[in-house]
Structure 1
């Protein structure tokens, strides 16, 4: 069976699981699949016998893969290599536009998850591929598929994910911070809550996430900000929800991390 389900811990919030469409083999080296997802709908953890490009023409997706959470907006996609367990949920109503890509040594794509920028050309190629019936025009479909794979290699790759620990105690801690990113309690206070010394807690956290708590919280706040900006919340409200003392402090963090202000980020991602 080419799609296998796996058990795994759920993401934050009341998710409604929707079935993964059964597919035993790819009929073509590149195949597009479209589906509308309502806010809060999620595919259960599963893996494929092929690579996947997770993409939505509108809406915000959260993808969990290999102990990391990714927030994907319509200007980005996530490359998920063959065999990697993952699950995708819609943080807002989304037009899910998915690519399945067969393994090929000539692909030139990484064997790990990678966030890809999606150029306007690649976006339109994905949409077009999903609208073409291969049997109606085999040559055209083959050319489209070749263009898609060429464009995938040309997209800028970057790492912007949130590592998620495996230790149950650390998971509860991270989930609490994810749900309430404005929680200002430091390591000493959390150590008392979790029943460990601050030094032990810090050492275990860095070993499992590869980040200090400070760096992890900044990444968390950035991803929650991206999620909320895409949903239309104002930067001032987001700054308050994230626990910043002022909107200017939030704007500074966002500009350092992305190179632009929150409003510039939103305008750059509006259609047209």
Structure 2
């Protein structure tokens, strides 16, 4: 997989625009749905909840940062955020935000860490339905929906396709630069001179902080940026160039190995989904 090409500088991303987190002093039901339209570039400031959260959007792409990891969530996925986890969510493209609040319950059997969940068509429709029903109007039906949603959450496939973020300030500077320009072809040696540490020290600290090698981390970064840009409508050829691949076929190979389908197949599945 060749990444030798130095891409042209990408346009600087517009700054995030923060929107208020709605106030909710308590959770009156086992599951509550909250819907909101988010424009591209809008995000909630860092916050915590006294209950679990399922971050989901029926349209658009979300980025969630929690515990030094960045997650990119498409409409085929949701992010499970356990109670008390500091996080913030932003829209990488205009998004139909459909959030779930889930009360703690020993019978949930959900993880105590963030986890990306696949969202089946049934779970998607249950989430939409839950957001359209007023529990005061039909409490038995609403509670039945809550039970169905929690049962479906337990049945979704979980994976950890996220981007760990280091704690070290020098490594954060490095990662941010690569995130902004993922096609940057400078070597570890070049970065070590810039950051004032030996390449061996940087590599060792990077793996300690992220739990991944730099090579694997950059592959994950390129995958998540590719998902983001595909959702925005960019062509695979343009994305391959911006990610630093020498050819579109090299990019397609990486994407297929990670996602099990080509970029165009992924886009079509998103559109039909």
**Shorter-chain-normalised TM-score: which range?**
over 0.9
Q: Partner of 1:229 in structure 2?
A: 230
Cα distance change, pair 166–74 in 1 and its aligned pair in 2 (3 A): same
Q: Deviations over 1:137-183 (max 9, x none)?
A: 00000000000000000101111000000111111110000000000
Q: Deviations over 1:206-247 (max 9, x none)?
A: 100111111110000000001111111110000000000000
> How many Å apart are 1:271 and its aligned residue?
2.9
Structure 2 unpaired stretches of 5+: 1-12
Q: Aligned to 2:57, what secondary structure does the other structure show?
A: coil
Q: Deviations over 1:41-89 (max 9, x none)?
A: 0000000000000000000000000000000000000000000000000
Provide the C-alpha distance between the structure 2 equivalents of 1:112 and 1:216, rounded to a whole number of angstroms: 20
> How many Å apart are 1:14 and its aligned residue?
0.3
Q: Partner of 2:54 in structure 1?
A: 53
- Once the two structures are superposed, the pairs formed by residues 68-79 of structure 1 within 5 Å of their partners are 68-79=69-80
Q: Partner of 2:40 in structure 1?
A: 39
Q: Does 1:181 align with 2:172?
A: no
Q: Which moved more, 1:47-56 or 1:166-175?
A: 166-175
Q: Deviations over 1:69-118 (max 9, x none)?
A: 00000000000000000000000000000000000000011000000000
Q: Partner of 1:120 in structure 2?
A: 121
Task: Provide the aligned length of Structure 1 versus Structure 2.
Answer: 261
Provide the C-alpha distance between the structure 2 equivalents of 1:199 and 1:61, rounded to a whole number of angstroms: 35
Q: Aligned to 1:57, what secondary structure does the other structure show?
A: strand
> How many Å apart are 1:13 and its aligned residue?
4.8
Q: Partner of 1:147 in structure 2?
A: 148
Q: Partner of 1:5 in structure 2?
A: none
Cα distance change, pair 117–256 in 1 and its aligned pair in 2 (3 A): same
- Once the two structures are superposed, the pairs formed by residues 187-202 of structure 1 within 5 Å of their partners are 187-202=188-203
Provide the C-alpha distance between the structure 2 equivalents of 1:13 and 1:84, rounded to a whole number of angstroms: 27
Q: Aligned to 2:58, what secondary structure does the other structure show?
A: coil
Q: Aligned to 2:134, what secondary structure does the other structure show?
A: coil
Q: Does 1:65 align with 2:96?
A: no
Provide the C-alpha distance between the structure 2 equivalents of 1:18 and 1:166, rounded to a whole number of angstroms: 26
Structure 1 unpaired stretches of 5+: 1-11
Q: TM-score, normalised by structure 2?
A: 0.94
Q: TM-score, normalised by structure 1?
A: 0.95
Q: Deviations over 1:16-56 (max 9, x none)?
A: 00000011100101000000000000000000000000000
Higher relative contact order (CA closer than 8 Å, sequence separation 6+): 2
Q: Aligned to 1:52, what secondary structure does the other structure show?
A: strand
